[in-house]
Amino acid sequence: MPADSDLDSRPALSRRSFLTNTAIAGGATAVGLKTRVVYADDIKNNDDGLIADDTLPKVQLTVNGQKRTLAVEPRTTLVEALRDTLGLTGTKIGCNHGQCGACTVLLDGRSVNACLVLALSIDGSDVTTVEGLSDPVGNLHPMQSAFAEHDAFQCGYCTPGQILSAISCIEEGHASTSDEIREYMSGNLCRCGAYPNIVAAIESVRDAKVEG
Amino acid sequence: MKNFSYIQPTTLDDALRATDTSEQFDILAGGTTMVDLLKLDAIAPERIIDISRIASLEGYTFDDENLRFGALARMSDVGDDKTLAQICPALTESLWKAASSQLRHAARLGGNILQRTRCPYFRETHYACNKRNPGSGCAALDGGDTGLHAILGGSEQCVAMYPGDWAQALIAFDAVVTVVSSKGTRLIEFADLHVPPGDTPDIETTLKEGEIVTQISVPVSAAMKGSHYLKARERESYAFASASAAVGVLEDGGVITEARIALGGVASIPWRAREAEEYLEGVRLDEASAFETGRIAFSEANPLEGSAYKIKLGASVVAGALLTAQKRARQEG
Ligand SMILES: Cc1cc2nc3c(=O)[nH]c(=O)nc-3n(C[C@H](O)[C@H](O)[C@H](O)COP(=O)(O)OP(=O)(O)OC[C@H]3O[C@@H](n4cnc5c(N)ncnc54)[C@H](O)[C@@H]3O)c2cc1C
Ligand code: SF4
Ligand code: FES
Ligand code: FES
């Protein structure tokens, strides 16, 4: 059984009885309805010293349109779950502290730093990573094409995060001037300094949208 | 990061019940301060109570008397709100100029006002720090890098700077915070929420154990229209304030009848510059009086070598903010 439990089972920790029937079994219950309780010491190690996955709580995410169920520790961040558990290494880790934007993904349609999100906290959510941007037959997303056309990268390490922020920038209507784009995109650092071309790529997608 | 017990209540009631525990706990909202500090082991709670899914705390509403913000409203939504920008530009500008678009999407207003200091020695556990480890000393005061430390409201034990932006607009406009615990509800003046370090830098607010901020409300006032948040940073964007000011002015017959001035990036807590406000009231606001107001705002400053630059910078920021606010106050409609 996963580590989800309810506070009633812990009189020593919870002096008051409550939350009857509110624990989520397996973590797959609909979002926003039930209080979730996970105790650190319910998570056990196997004889080999590694964590026993079946004692971990589960989180269900729709990642790039596909429903995935993952066993995670309470401390596991979204970027770790994506890269290490799901093998989606398009999302990068730069600083791991919210300072660079390499880990940017769309969470329920909004760009966030996946390094600062606990995977357990977003059960039931929708996550889009750079792997999920092209269409089923492999055509690139217009923003990906624009980055390629405008040479909006050198080493490419910051690029997945830049592209997701760029999509969010246009979606939210913050691409009206190059200054506004620069301000909105300031959470994505590029140590190769591709900034002018990144702004040009975003402007081209914006303009194509207006014309189209 | 150490593991922890994790509770994600979906109602305020369940959240309060989860605070009734012998485990040492912390509240988590958007997690952008919390997860950062957890990774550094600067904090290591036994239990995390993740309140981010308590839907009843997400909303915000405006009427003629009050602007009310749920503690879980997002920085991005409120910072982008066109109505609020009309009512009180300083409240939206101070959100829009904070952090990055990704962080603003994740971060909530309750977490924002309670964000922790960015003092590098608080963040790195191998340094002495009275805030993180009371009685261990203060690496900043021991001759460390003090470029981002407080020049107002510090003490012999700690000169950490309060890094937030929005709080300056809140304190300038007399915000009130609603807090709820299993014992009931109480209101705290925003100006009384944070406490300067004194001899106990580990105590940062007047919140009691188990209290959860549910709402921040700001009374609508005439000086809101003529308000502005000006933030000077080491780079153009995505940096904490080197010095900032949230100001509001009201003019009548060419003189200032009401002035509100709060200072960011320079003090240990959100900082209202009352003496500077008093000086300006009854005075004609022009470049000279704007700079004089800025000078007065920093007359009590007590900088270290690394933070001395903030006095001149901060005074200019106050002056600049006032002159912009005056233009806004004079605009029709
Ligand atoms: C790289 C970087 C740059 C940044 N730049 C800026 C900047 O320029 N300006 C700025 O203002 N901020 C900046 N921030 C800080 C950011 O704005 C805050 O981290 C954020 O607002 C905190 O909100 P949160 O919801 O994520 O809070 P959390 O991280 O979840 O919580 C923050 C604190 O508040 C407590 N808490 C949260 N909600 C409640 C509640 N309802 N009741 C009681 N306690 C509560 C938590 O226990 C914790 O101590 C930056 C952060 C990063 C990582
Ligand atoms: S200034 Fe405060 S937070 Fe920074 S090291 Fe000193 S005691 Fe710690
Ligand atoms: S890795 Fe997340 S912001 Fe740098
Ligand atoms: S392309 Fe190299 S970091 Fe941006």
- Predicted confidence (pLDDT) per residue in A134-165, tens digit: 998 999 999 999 999 999 999 999 999 999 99
| Across A2-11, B112-121, B132-141, B272-281, least confident range | A2-11
Nearest CA to ligand 4 atom 4: A190
pLDDT of residue A6: 61
Q: What angle do CA B244, B246, B250 make, to 5 degrees?
A: 145
A21 domain-assigned: no
**Signed CA dihedral, B207, B15, B76, A148: sign only:** positive
pLDDT band at A20 (very low <50, low <70, confident <90, very high): very low
Q: Which residues of B touch A34 (CB under 8 A)?
A: 10
The confidence band for A196, taking pLDDT boundaries of 50, 70 and 90, is very high
Which of A78, A91, A103, A164 is the pocket-test mutation for ligand 3 (most atoms within 8 Å of CB)?
A: A103
Looking at the predicted structure, is the pLDDT value of residue A115 above 70?
Answer: yes
Residue A108 lies in a domain: no
Show which of B21, B36, B51 is a domain's final residue. B51
- Asked if pLDDT for residue A19 goes beyond 90, the answer is no
B77 touches chain A (CB under 8 A): no
**How many CB atoms lie under 10 A from the CB of residue A163?**
26
Q: Quick one: pLDDT at residue A10?
A: 53
Tell me whether residues A36 and B7 touch, CB distance under 8 A: yes
List the domain range (segments joined by +) for residue A78.
40-93+117-129
**Residue A150 corresponds to which tokens in the numbers above?**
């405008």
- Ligand 4 contacts (CB < 6 A) are A 153-159, 190-192, 194
Contact indicator for B63, B72 with CB cutoff of 8 Å: no
Whether B332 and B253 have beta carbons less than 8 Å apart is answered as no
Q: Which residues of A touch B20 (CB under 8 A)?
A: 14-16
A155 and A193 together in one domain: yes
| Closest residue by Cα to residue B247 from B267, B268, B264, B269 | B264
How confident is the model over B70-84, as a mean pLDDT? 98
What's the pLDDT tens digit per position in A93-109? 999 999 999 999 999 99
Q: Do B22 and A13 touch (CB under 8 A)?
A: yes
Residue A13, pLDDT above cutoff 70: no
pLDDT of residue B313: 98
Percent of chain B with pLDDT over 70: 100
Give the pLDDT band (50/70/90) at residue B229.
Answer: very high
Identify the CATH number of the domain in which residue B46 sits.
3.30.43.10
Instruction: Name the minimum distance, in Å, from the CA of A37 to any CA of chain B.
Output: 4
Supply the pLDDT for residue A34: 85
Domain range spanning residue B325?
A: 223-332
Q: How many domains does chain A have?
A: 2
Residue A15 has pLDDT above 70, yes or no: no
Both tokens assigned to A21: 């029937």
A68-76 mean pLDDT:
96
Domain count, chain B: 2
Q: Is residue B61 part of a domain?
A: no
Distance CA B94, CA B96 (A): 6
According to DSSP, residue B132 is labeled T
Contact assignment for B53 to A96 by CB distance below 8 Å? no
A164 and A121, same structural domain? no
The predicted structure's pLDDT at residue B208: 97
**What is the reported pTM?**
0.94
We report the CATH number of the domain holding residue A52 as: 3.10.20.30
Alpha-carbon distances of A23 from A67, A191, B234, rounded to whole Å:
22, 46, 48
Place of tokens 């009206």: A176
Asked, for residue B296, whether it belongs to a domain, the answer is yes
Using alpha carbons, select from B223, B222, B227 the residue that is nearest to residue B85.
B227
pLDDT at A211: 74
Does the residue A149 lie in any domain? yes
Residue A9 has pLDDT above 70, yes or no: no
Which residue has the CA at smallest separation from atom 2 of ligand 2?
B158
Judged against a pLDDT cut of 90, whether residue B215 lies above it is answered with yes
The rounded mean pLDDT for chain B is 97
Mean pLDDT of B2-16: 95
Question: Is B276 near ligand 1, meaning CB less than 6 Å away?
Answer: no
CATH code for the domain in which residue A174 is found: 1.10.150.120
Query: Which residues 78-117 in chain A show a CB within 8 A of chain B?
Result: 96-98, 101, 104, 107, 110-113, 115-117
Provide, as residue numbers in chain B, all residues whose Cβ is less than 8 Å from the Cβ of A19. 14, 17
Question: Which ligand 1 atom is nearest residue B35's CA?
Answer: 29
Distant-in-sequence, close-in-space partners of B299: CB < 8 Å, separation ≥ 6: B275
